[in-house]
Structure 1
Amino acid sequence: MGRYLVRRLLQLVPVFIGTTFLIYWLVWSVPGDPFAGKCGERRCPEQYVTYMTEKFHLDQPLLVQYANYMRNLLTGDFGETFSGRSVNDIIATAYPNTLKLALVALAIEAVIGLVAGVLTGLRRNGFLDNLVLVSTMFLIALPIFVIGFVLQWVLGFQLKLISTTVSSEVKFSELIVPGFVLGSASMAYVARLARTSIAENRRADYVRTAIAKGLPMRRVVGVHLLRNSLIPVVTLLGTDLGALMGGAIVTEGIFNVNGIGRQVYRAITTKESATVVSIVVVLVVIYLVMNLLVDLLYAALDPRIRYE
């Protein structure tokens, strides 16, 4: 296991360099004047443009710019915006809020999706199975912003059960409904994937053998059937954390959450490329770490998998 872990960590290095360079190249290659609108309605003075160009190394080749960015990144410096604000401060303010929202969404989709998938996988073609299939199809078909506005209007404005917006403290209790909205589509996929995996593995030889030995059904499902059926679900859940954080812009806008979605949108509209690159780079790190954890969980779930 130790040798495999070291090998996987070494493999992450070229992947990280390649993805960050691609992101950096794509963001800084977007056409347009990065200083447009920075001086109000009037055109920025030439002295200001020259100073900012030299300060952010915009007059140097792209590889040199990327090398300077990576050198600062390895020291923990994500740079600063054209207005002089530290990108570290933006990330420190926005990322915890989005991470809370994504974790709540991940927990909701894991719990509800797994429970629905296991129950329907064990009792297929019944009322509950048909209800879950119709409900998940409904959640997949509806856009997230429709689900968000409907729940906000019904639970917030009509029934007064929740606050229509999240406070500046961003408490976990305030993120239950936004988390459900954010993870609704993924929850539907988890339920369907778990249902299919449970139904398929239930006919396997090791399950029939466990039942023939007289093991309680609870042990057959919990120890034998569920562990082997969780591998595809764990893969989906593990890679979904980064996707939830990256796709939270709509949910954050509906419920007024000060997260990375709002910061990315603001950075794109104001052409703050350094902010966009840094936020996406952190997302890349989260993706890579979660993929590594998923690979390591495979051995814990399936005893047939061993990393030598």
Structure 2
Amino acid sequence: MGRYTLRRLLQLIPVFLGTTFIVYALVWGLRDDPFAGKCGQRECSPAFKAAITERYNLDDPLIVQYLKYLGNVLTGDFGQTFSGTEVSTLIADAYPITVKLALIALVIEAVIGIIAGVVSGLRGRGFVDSLVLVSTLFLIALPVFVTGLVLRQVLGVELGIIRTSVSGDPSIGELIVPGFVLASLSMAYVARLTRTSLMENTRADFVRTAVAKGLPRRRVVGVHMLRNSLIPVVTFLGTDIGALMGGAIVTEGVFNIRGIGGLVYRGLQQQDTATVVGIVALLVIVYLIANLVVDLLYAVLDPRIRYD
């Protein structure tokens, strides 16, 4: 296991370098005029252009710019915005809120999705199975912003159960409903994936052997069927962590949450390339770590998987 983990960690290095370089090149290398629109309708002053050129090393070749930026990122320096604000400061203020929101959404989609999928898969074709399929199809077909606006209107405006606008330092209770909205689409996929995988393993040889040995149904389902059925679900959840953090723009906008999603949106709107590149580099790291954790969990869920 240790050798496999080390090998996987080494494999993450070229992936990180490749993805961050592509993002950096797309943001900085494909623009003819990096100062376009930075000073409104008028042209930027020579002093401003000189300062920005020196700050972002725009006189150097693209690969040299990237290597200098990468060296700063590895030390925790994500650069500065065009207004002079440290990107690391913006991330430090917004990232904890988004992490908290994403973790709440992940727990909601995992718990509700897996329970719904297990109940549906074990009951077979019946009312419960039809109810789960229809409910998940409804969540998949419904846009996330519609779900958020409806819940905010009903629970916040009409019933007064929640606040329509989340505070600057939200508690876990304030993020339950936004977390459910953020998790709604993935929750439907988790339920369907669990159901399908469980129904496939019901007819597997190892399940028939466990039943023939006289094992209790609870042990057959919980130890044999469920552990093997959760492998594709864990894979989906692992890759969904980064998507929850980077794709929370709509949810954060609906509930006025000051997180990474809003920061990315403002960066794109204001053409603040340093902010966008810094956040994307951070999300790449999150994706890579999440996939490594998922790979290591495979051996825990399925004893047949060995990394020796």
Q: Can you list the C-alpha shifts for 1:1-35, whole angstroms capped at 9, x where unaligned?
A: 11111111111111110000001001113536443
Check the 8 A contact 1:34/1:271 in 2, yes or no: no
Task: Give me the CA root mean square deviation.
Answer: 1.3
Aligned partner of 1:216: which letter?
P
Segments of structure 2 that go 5 or more residues without pairing to the other structure are none
1:280 corresponds to: 280
DSSP-derived class of the 1:258 partner:
coil
1:90 corresponds to: 90
1:219 corresponds to: 219
After TM superposition, give the deviation of residue 170 of structure 1 in Å.
1.5
1:191 corresponds to: 191
Separation (CA, whole Å) in 1 of partners of 2:9 and 2:239: 17
Aligned partner of 2:98: which letter?
T
1:24 corresponds to: 24
Check the 8 A contact 1:182/1:251 in 2, yes or no: yes
1:157 corresponds to: 157
After TM superposition, give the deviation of residue 207 of structure 1 in Å.
1.3
Alignment length (residue pairs): 308
Separation (CA, whole Å) in 1 of partners of 2:122 and 2:251: 34
After TM superposition, give the deviation of residue 105 of structure 1 in Å.
0.6
Q: Can you list the C-alpha shifts for 1:260-299, whole angstroms capped at 9, x where unaligned?
A: 1111111111111111001000100000000000000000
Identical-pair percentage: 67
1:240 corresponds to: 240
Equivalent runs, 1:4-23 vs 2, <5 Å: 4-23=4-23
Q: Can you list the C-alpha shifts for 1:113-163, whole angstroms capped at 9, x where unaligned?
A: 000000000011111100010000000011111111011111111111111
Equivalent runs, 1:262-301 vs 2, <5 Å: 262-301=262-301
DSSP-derived class of the 1:57 partner:
coil
2:79 corresponds to: 79
DSSP-derived class of the 2:271 partner:
coil
DSSP-derived class of the 2:203 partner:
coil
Aligned partner of 2:113: which letter?
G
1:133 corresponds to: 133
Aligned partner of 1:77: which letter?
D
Separation (CA, whole Å) in 2 of partners of 1:204 and 1:144: 37
After TM superposition, give the deviation of residue 75 of structure 1 in Å.
1.4
After TM superposition, give the deviation of residue 212 of structure 1 in Å.
2.2
After TM superposition, give the deviation of residue 64 of structure 1 in Å.
1.1
Separation (CA, whole Å) in 1 of partners of 2:285 and 2:41: 39
2:65 corresponds to: 65
1:251 corresponds to: 251
Separation (CA, whole Å) in 2 of partners of 1:30 and 1:174: 41
DSSP-derived class of the 1:265 partner:
helix
Aligned partner of 1:16: which letter?
F
Aligned partner of 2:110: which letter?
A
Separation (CA, whole Å) in 2 of partners of 1:47 and 1:224: 69
After TM superposition, give the deviation of residue 58 of structure 1 in Å.
1.3
Check the 8 A contact 2:29/2:62 in 1, yes or no: no
Check the 8 A contact 2:114/2:191 in 1, yes or no: yes
Name the CA shift for 1:27/1:40 in 2 (closer, same or farther; >3 Å).
closer
Separation (CA, whole Å) in 1 of partners of 2:239 and 2:39: 42
Separation (CA, whole Å) in 1 of partners of 2:71 and 2:167: 37
Separation (CA, whole Å) in 2 of partners of 1:29 and 1:179: 36
Separation (CA, whole Å) in 1 of partners of 2:162 and 2:74: 42
TM-score (norm 2): 0.97
Separation (CA, whole Å) in 2 of partners of 1:238 and 1:167: 29
After TM superposition, give the deviation of residue 211 of structure 1 in Å.
1.8
Q: Can you list the C-alpha shifts for 1:192-218, whole angstroms capped at 9, x where unaligned?
A: 000001111011122122222222211
Name the CA shift for 1:176/1:32 in 2 (closer, same or farther; >3 Å).
farther
After TM superposition, give the deviation of residue 302 of structure 1 in Å.
0.3
After TM superposition, give the deviation of residue 46 of structure 1 in Å.
1.4
After TM superposition, give the deviation of residue 40 of structure 1 in Å.
5.2
Check the 8 A contact 1:238/1:291 in 2, yes or no: yes
Q: Can you list the C-alpha shifts for 1:95-126, whole angstroms capped at 9, x where unaligned?
A: 11111111111100000000000000001111
